[in-house]
């Protein structure tokens, strides 16, 4: 079946602009995660959605970052007033439920802030 999809695959923006990154999880998966992979660093947890529960936003690095998940499916990660240090690959994952279910990753969005 279809895996996790993300768009765009690449995004180049200028410092100070806002960007939106989209994630379509695997159909039927109730849990959705965003991670960030910076050059030379491990994947860093950003945010977690599970069903209709309040999201865990504890990994968001600043208040310029926000995310929403509409209808329990598609999610959008928004970065306002982008900075050069936001340049990274943003990865989305989904799992059947939360807990120990395997997280399946999308291909990522490579964000470059000039």
Partner 1 sequence: EDQVTQSPEALRLQEGESSSLNCSYTVSGLRGLFWYRQDPGKGPEFLFTLYSAGEEKEKERLKATLTKKESFLHITAPKPEDSATYLCAVQAASGGSNYKLTFGKGTLLTVNP
**Which of the residues 40 through 99 are near partner 1 (CB under 8 A)?**
40-45, 48, 50, 56, 58-59, 91, 93, 95, 98-99
Q: Which stretch binds partner 1 (CB under 8 A): 12-20, 37-45, 66-74, 76-84?
A: 37-45
Rounded-to-integer distance, Cα 9 and Cα 62, Å: 23
* Listed ranges 11-19, 28-36, 60-68, 73-81: which one lies at the site for partner 1 (CB under 8 A): 28-36
Cα Rg of the chain, angstroms: 13
Look up residue 55 and give its DSSP letter.
Answer: P
Query: What's the rounded Cα separation, in Å, for the pair 110 and 91?
Result: 9
**Is 77 within 8 Å of 21 (Cβ atoms)?**
yes
25: contact with partner 1 by CB under 8 A: no
List residues near partner 1 by CB under 8 A: 4, 31, 33, 35, 40-45, 48, 50, 56, 58-59, 91, 93, 95, 98-100, 102-108
């Amino acid at each position: 079946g279809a895996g996790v999809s993300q768009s765009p695959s690449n995004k180049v923006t200028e410092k100070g602009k806002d960007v939106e990154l989209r994630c379509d999880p695997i159909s039927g998966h109730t849990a959705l995660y965003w991670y960030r992979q910076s050059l030379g660093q491990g994947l860093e947890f950003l945010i977690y959605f599970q069903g209709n529960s309040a999201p865990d936003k504890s990994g968001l690095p600043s208040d310029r970052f926000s995310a929403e998940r509409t209808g329990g499916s598609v999610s959008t990660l928004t970065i306002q007033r982008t900075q050069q240090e936001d340049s990274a690959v943003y990865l989305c994952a989904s799992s059947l439920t939360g807990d120990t279910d395997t997280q399946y990753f999308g291909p990522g969005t490579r964000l470059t802030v000039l």
